[in-house]
Amino acid sequence: MHDVIVVGAGPAGSRYARQAAASGQSVLVLERGPVGEPLACSGHVSRDIWERTPEGTREAIVQNQISGARFHVGGPDSPAHAFYRDETISEVIDRVALDRHLASAAEDAGADLRVEHTVVDATEDATGVTVTARTPEGRAEFRAKILVGADGPRSRVRQSIGLPEPDELLHGVLGFDTSADNGDRVDVHLDVPGFFAWRIPRGEAGVEYGLAARPEADPVERFEAMTDAYGVETARRCSGLIPIGPPDRVTADRTLLLGDAAAQTKPFTGGGINYGMTAADHAARTVDPSDPATLADYERAWREDLGREIAMGAWIRRAYDLPNAVQRVGLRLTSGRVGVHMDRPSTIFSFDQLRAFVR
């Protein structure tokens, strides 16, 4: 019997697997695809990420550096309100390569990674967990003391174990233009109900156009309208789900959820790479597979660290649905040089300020 089975070798699962294996646990990772594919992410991250990646990752996967954002209430022709710093705030990375680096680091630490293993069921009992996977050879069963569901927004682990769902799943669409753009500003368009559209310069890798919205708001049609307004034809397209709003419980008797499976994302950007890896570290630090009662320590630790940021992020997101005139005034008053950390809204706002602004 393994100490832990991790389902999903995305950033959250691989980071957890690496840390748990490094502490001497026997870790089995089951991943349905080749690692990192298919792509469904912009890979726009704060520099905190480098605290949790193996040496040499940054040099290998950074595509561009960003020092600010231009917000528009409307399409590309509407006036821009710039928020910026004099130094780099965030970086645009090759997301497929990130997943590969993190998975290799987990293997180097001793984790046993099996690709093309799609988990179809998981159950808990008094002595451990049983996980059933579809493999190239047929079906296989695996046993462990505890189970980590790091299997993304539509988590099969969450469903099999009967843990609650996130509040919402947004639909994100991405398209890529191959013209190089080494600019250091992203564009954000507040003309999508409940969320926004964006343009990210990816250096020599080209330009990314993206949009996320509630599924009923026709994200694909809106995406096409945006790229038409920019006058571009995107060559490559992909899409994915963004979970927003963690459920009240992300642990069961012998199971914990991590990353998108637990909706550990920023409600105001949809970004989840750093939060998922942060939560992975809390899990690896607090959970002892031989003592499932320690799952409660993980539940407490990640919420203490990220709960307030997520709650503030949800308040910021409310501003996306304010009347356009109010948004313009708000942007005009707050734009300019900023000191905010993109993963930590509490570095700039208090709850009272946010509530007052949104109301």
Ligand X SMILES: Cc1cc2nc3c(=O)[nH]c(=O)nc-3n(C[C@H](O)[C@H](O)[C@H](O)COP(=O)(O)OP(=O)(O)OC[C@H]3O[C@@H](n4cnc5c(N)ncnc54)[C@H](O)[C@@H]3O)c2cc1C
CA–CA separation, 69 vs 308, rounded Å? 24
Collapsed DSSP state (helix, strand, coil) of residue 29: strand
CA–CA separation, 158 vs 165, rounded Å? 8
Listed ranges 66-74, 81-89, 147-155, 317-325: which one lies at the site for ligand X (CB under 6 A): 147-155
Residue 76 CA to chain centroid, in angstroms? 26
Report the residue number, 25 or 265, with the smaller CB distance to ligand X: 265
How many residues of this chain bind ligand X (CB under 6 A)?
A: 38
Report the residue number, 201 or 259, with the smaller CB distance to ligand X: 259
- Binders of ligand X in range 203-232 (CB under 6 A): 210
In the list 94, 187, 260, 309, the residue contacting ligand X (rule: CB under 6 A) is: 260
CB atoms within 10 A of CB 178: 12
Name the residue among 32, 54, 229, 225 with its Cα closest to residue 120: 32
| Amino acid in the structure at residue 233 | E
Interface mask toward ligand X for 22-61; x: CB under 6 A: --------xxxx------xxxxxx----------------
Q: Is 246 in the site for ligand X (CB under 6 A)?
A: no
**282 phi and psi angles, rounded to 5 deg:** -60, -40
Q: Are strands 236-244 and 44-46 parallel, antiparallel or unpaired?
A: unpaired
Interface mask toward ligand X for 107-146; x: CB under 6 A: -----------xx---------------------------
CB of 179 to ligand X, least distance (A): 20
In the list 270, 289, 292, 345, the residue contacting ligand X (rule: CB under 6 A) is: 270
CA–CA separation, 98 vs 312, rounded Å? 28
In the list 272, 289, 313, 345, the residue contacting ligand X (rule: CB under 6 A) is: 272
Listed ranges 2-10, 67-75, 183-191, 316-324: which one lies at the site for ligand X (CB under 6 A): 2-10
Token reading at 216: 């009923």
In the list 271, 289, 313, 345, the residue contacting ligand X (rule: CB under 6 A) is: 271
Which residues, 6 or more positions from 173, have their beta carbon under 8 angstroms from its beta carbon? Answer: 210, 211, 212, 219, 220, 223, 237, 238, 239
How would DSSP label each residue in 58-72?
Answer: HHHHEEEEE-EEEEE
Report the residue number, 63 or 328, with the smaller CB distance to ligand X: 63
CB of 342 to ligand X, least distance (A): 9
CA–CA separation, 233 vs 173, rounded Å? 14
In the list 5, 9, 66, 256, the residue contacting ligand X (rule: CB under 6 A) is: 9
Which residues, 6 or more positions from 127, have their beta carbon under 8 angstroms from its beta carbon? Answer: none
Tell me which H or E stretch contains 240: strand 236-244
Q: Is 94 in the site for ligand X (CB under 6 A)?
A: no
Q: Is 273 in the site for ligand X (CB under 6 A)?
A: yes
CB of 261 to ligand X, least distance (A): 6
Q: Is 201 in the site for ligand X (CB under 6 A)?
A: no
Residues interacting with ligand X, by CB under 6 A?
Answer: 7-13, 30-33, 40-45, 118-119, 150-152, 156, 172, 174, 210, 240-242, 259-260, 265, 270-274, 276
